[in-house]
């Protein structure tokens, strides 16, 4: 009887163990499926939508999540790979954004509204946490293109200013000479802005205009004096007794 009882007890324990095992398997399967469903529902952050590394890692994660034979360890490995890729790529993007935030226009582009506008656009993208690397790159390229184009225009204007020569009729005017030198110096200054060049050109042009006007007035006065003298001489000759 005791042996029979022991056998019965052993059989009952086995049944309990089997039941516990079945319950544990069921719970594990349920938990695994919940984890798979959660992984399969994962979407990349807005700022990573154009990132190939992150998207490839997510594709691999979803492949495991939809595989009925995939284990929890396989899912954990795929999840870790995706998380690491996301962390690394977002760090790279943030570094690029921080760099863009620190961009300053070249000295010779100070006051240029086109460059200023593109720089403001770049910083707006850099300050946007949802902006992608593609959007940042596009804004950076637009800014770089604007700087290149505007600097090209400025250099053309500087080259033209460097070729300016003083008109011969006021070549001895010291004010004109000084302002031409100032214009040439501004044209040769790589950091000089368009407004500085314009101001130097205007000052020179004004000096030339005023000098030529003064010269014309002197010539007109001299001509009038000569005419008056000639008339006086003629009158004196006519009144002289013969």
Contact 184, 162 (CB under 8 A): yes
Instruction: Write the pLDDT tens digit of every residue in 37-73.
Output: 999 999 999 999 999 999 999 999 999 999 999 999 9
The residue among 200 and 228 whose pLDDT is bigger is 200
Cα dihedral 70/75/77/78 (nearest 10): 100
Residues 6+ apart with CB under 8 A from 203: 179, 182, 183
Q: Give me the phi and psi of 222, to 5 degrees please.
A: -65, -40
Give the C-alpha distances (Å, rounded to integers) separating 108 from 53, 116, 201: 40, 12, 16
| pLDDT for residue 8 is more than 70 | no
Residues 6+ apart with CB under 8 A from 187: 158, 159, 161, 162, 197, 200
**pLDDT the model gives residue 241:** 55
Count the helices and strands in the chain (H runs, E runs): 7, 0
| Burial group, residue 187, by CB count within 10 angstroms (0-12, 13-18, 19+) | buried
Q: Helix (H, G, I), strand (E, B), or coil: what is residue 202?
A: helix
Q: Give me the phi and psi of 143, to 5 degrees please.
A: -65, -45
Contact 139, 119 (CB under 8 A): no
Give me the mean pLDDT over the 143-170 stretch: 98
pTM of this structure: 0.79
Instruction: Write the pLDDT tens digit of every residue in 75-114.
Output: 999 999 999 999 999 999 999 999 999 999 999 999 999 9
Show the tokens assigned to 171. Answer: 């070549």
| pLDDT for residue 5 is more than 50 | no
**pLDDT the model gives residue 77:** 98
Task: Quickly state the pLDDT bin for 1 (edges 50, 70, 90).
Answer: very low
Q: Is the dihedral of CA 101, 104, 105, 106 positive or negative?
A: negative
| pLDDT for residue 2 is more than 60 | no
- Residue 111 — left, alpha, or beta (φ > 0 → left; ψ -120 to 50 → alpha)? left
Report the C-alpha gap between 26 and 38 in whole angstroms.
18
| pLDDT for residue 3 is more than 70 | no
Show the tokens assigned to 242. Answer: 């013969």
Q: What is the mean pLDDT of the chain?
A: 90
| Structural domain spans, the chain | 1-91
Neighbours of 180 (CB within 10 A): 21
């Amino acid at each position: 009887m005791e042996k029979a009882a022991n056998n019965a007890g052993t059989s009952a324990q086995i049944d309990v163990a089997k039941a516990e095992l079945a319950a544990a398997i069921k719970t594990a399967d349920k938990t695994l499926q919940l984890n798979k469903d959660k992984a399969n529902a994962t979407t990349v952050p807005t700022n990573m939508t154009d990132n190939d590394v992150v998207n490839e890692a997510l594709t691999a994660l979803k492949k495991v999540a939809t595989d009925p034979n995939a284990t929890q360890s396989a899912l954990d490995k795929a999840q870790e790979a995706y998380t690491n890729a996301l962390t690394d790529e977002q760090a790279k993007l943030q570094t690029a954004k921080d760099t863009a935030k620190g961009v300053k226009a070249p000295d010779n582009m100070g006051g240029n509204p086109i460059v200023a506008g593109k720089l403001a656009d770049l910083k707006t993208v850099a300050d946007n946490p949802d902006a992608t690397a593609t959007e940042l790159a596009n804004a950076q390229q637009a800014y770089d293109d604007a700087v290149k184009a505007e600097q090209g225009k400025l250099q053309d204007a500087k080259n033209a200013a460097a070729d300016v020569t003083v008109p011969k009729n006021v070549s001895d005017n010291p004010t004109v000479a000084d302002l031409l030198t100032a214009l040439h110096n501004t044209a040769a200054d790589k950091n000089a802005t368009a407004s500085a060049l314009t101001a130097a050109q205007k000052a020179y042009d004004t000096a030339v205009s005023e000098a030529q006007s003064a010269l014309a007035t002197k010539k007109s006065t001299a001509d009038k004096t000569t005419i008056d003298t000639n008339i006086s001489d003629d009158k004196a000759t006519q009144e002289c007794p013969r």
